[in-house]
Chain A
């Protein structure tokens, strides 16, 4: 069975400092992994996705994530936080074999960026 754990429910960083949002997953197959961002009172937007190609995935707005199979992790990073990065971030796993697809969301990490 698949599952995903976001290790921090809240993260605070100062503007201009690095961001690290942690995600561990459990999967019985070869997973697809995603990070989505949700700004206040908005829908969800895809930041990046891993689907068994390069293990270092680059996304929008300077974010990237590295798939580490040995650690079952898919942490999201950004070198320098911007005020506009303040939002809630969701890690998502999908690993069902061909034919049925379920997506499992983590419980979210709320990122606060301090001026």
Chain B
């Protein structure tokens, strides 16, 4: 089944404790992206990747890192999480030419 998977789905952590949220897609898509969703703000793009080893900042990249070493994986790294990063995070992938994005199920992160 074609899908985008994220792990973990739920995470509660404390300020400053490094964490990684994994994202994997099995559709051989070049484009992958991370978003955070906050009430009243919609989804905001954190980082995106056009292909392996090619990443770029979205609108809210501060406090986040990403890497794209393999086409199928695009992990999101929070080196020192803070409470303002408490949010619902979505990973998405897309074929070329600004096509439809396929979204993962979301990761709900709480930073205490």
| Closest B residue to A90 using CB positions | B42
Main secondary structure of the interface of A (DSSP, over half): loop
Given A32, A101, A107, which contacts B50 in the complex, CB threshold below 8 Å? A101
Whether B100 and A46, one on each chain, are in contact in the complex, defined by CB atoms closer than 8 angstroms, is yes
- CA–CA, A45 and B56, complex, Å: 24
- CA–CA, A27 and B21, complex, Å: 32
Interface residues on B, range: 20 to 34
Per-residue contact bits, chain A 101-115, to B (CB 8 Å; 1 contact, 0 not): 111111110000000
Whether A94 and B98, one on each chain, are in contact in the complex, defined by CB atoms closer than 8 angstroms, is yes
Does A100 lie at the interface of the complex (its beta carbon under 8 Å from any beta carbon of B)?
yes
- CA–CA, A99 and B45, complex, Å: 17
Besides A46-B100, A90-B42, A108-B42, 11 other CB < 8 A contacts?
A43-B105, A44-B90, A49-B99, A49-B100, A90-B43, A101-B31, A103-B45, A103-B101, A104-B45, A104-B59, A105-B43
**A residues apposed to B, CB below 8 Å:** 9, 32, 34, 42-46, 49, 51, 90, 94, 99-108
Query: What number of residue pairs across chains A and B have CB atoms under 8 A from each other?
Result: 53
- CA–CA, A46 and B56, complex, Å: 24
Task: State the Cβ distance, A68 to closest chain B Cβ, in Å.
Answer: 20
Top 3 closest pairs, chain A to chain B, by CB:
A105-B42, A105-B43, A107-B42
| Closest A residue to B102 using CB positions | A46
Does B106 lie at the interface of the complex (its beta carbon under 8 Å from any beta carbon of A)?
yes
